[in-house]
Amino acid sequence: MTRPVVDVLSPLLSAPEIPPAAGHQLLAGLDLAPRTVVPAWITDPDLGASILAGLMDIPDSVRGDQ
């Protein structure tokens, strides 16, 4: 005999609403989404392309204002 599947929904377990712009930044910080912005202090276009392609990673501590 199999048990029926029961969904338990609780307001305490609901996911918070995150604005799309902030959500993408959070996912990019966890390497779950591609980075779409290169810091302004990077002037070499090849380095910028490598960062956007995910070949190079810049730690958040040195990213500075974008």
| pLDDT tens, position by position, 35-46 | 777 888 889 999
Count, residues in the chain: 66
pLDDT, residue 1, reads 63
Inter-CA distances, 47 with 22, 27, 29, 31, 39, Å: 25, 22, 19, 18, 11
What is the pTM (predicted TM-score) of this model? Answer: 0.47
Locate all alpha helices (DSSP H) within 1-66, ordered by sequence: 20-29, 45-53, 60-63
Calculate mean pLDDT across residues 5-13: 67
* Cα atoms in the Cβ-side hemisphere of radius 13 Å centred on 51: 20
Q: Which residue has the higher pLDDT, 10 or 46?
A: 46
Calculate mean pLDDT across residues 21-30: 75
